[in-house]
Structure 1
């Protein structure tokens, strides 16, 4: 009895490991993300597995994938669309202008820390393979080893630091981690972040007030000058007639008077 039970346990464990290797060996996590200067992120995340392994034990691909996905930590939420091709099946999560404070999950996060953006994707085996670990805790490490990742993140600023294996091209970082390849502790990148939009707007408002005040003051001055010019032009002109002198007034006869010529002869000098 004990021998039979032991053999049965070994067979179940072997079958579990075989299924684990099949499922996780064909599982890929791909992402293409763009971080924008307004602290939002857009892009896609694709989680797929090989059809041939999802349909083992007469399961549908939907059922097989749903069971497999239970071994993946929570992904950043977003609208999901079905993805399938002749060899793979899965789901694509679409992100469009998602605020960074909403793009934060157990499996992946992008946060802003002051003037830096920090992208992190932990590859801790304890975060993956939760369901298969119920059979054997060592399955988690095996699950992670057999997964593959291809992650691309583009930042609005210069990339300052990147974890081992990351390839930097201008403002973009790409990681390619294949199956059966030892995984690093995480995928991580740090990039420059521009001034926050609210701060930039405040600077524009504050800085823009001075020119407007100057323009308004200049306009008022010009209006005052224009009014002054108009008033000066509308004043009556002054005549060029000179004012009579006091001497002219004294010699001029009074109105209505008659001037009688003098008849006296003063005579010659020395007379009488």
Structure 2
């Protein structure tokens, strides 16, 4: 169900002025019992749809429901909710597929990757080894745009297209060859996927605390305490020295004449 991004990215180079022309956001939430729920939104403006060769009349809830067997092969239709999505000029669908087994997810992600919007999809698979979930985007030389004219503009394109794939795991992420890691989540942007290399993400399949960001912030907080505390100590010592320097010595106090009585 993760959609192919290559064609969209390459044609977007030619229509860079169409800021906000497309939205593709997917959130894959993994449970501890080998299931995943995907929340997916795909929407395009008419101009963008024309550029990438997508017929918006097929990108509707009614069209996808009537072709659910092709779009979501091997998945119980009762697990899938499809609604039309509209945001300004962008039109498309919002799909939620709940509690998919890994077999269902992998089949749909591979066989059905082009059914939602032809030409927009890259397959991905998920597996479990012990207490580790492994998500893999297979290597594909077709995703390499480094030699494509205009490919260097992909950073600008990414900022004009609302694109992200978020993988949310029960436990902390152990490793990721692409994307931004934040505790138990990995967020992949358009630039992350436009590589011919395989992308492999590993995360704990059982509940756990993502200590790395916590320790990082504790370290920052501890450093701030040391800096502020050290500065406060220096100020206190300086003030103390000033007070001591303004006081007369014991000998001076003994030699001073008595003040006349009133």
Which of the pair has the greater relative contact order for Cα pairs under 8 Å at 6+ separation?
A: 2
TM-score with structure 2 setting the length: 0.46
TM-score with structure 1 setting the length: 0.44
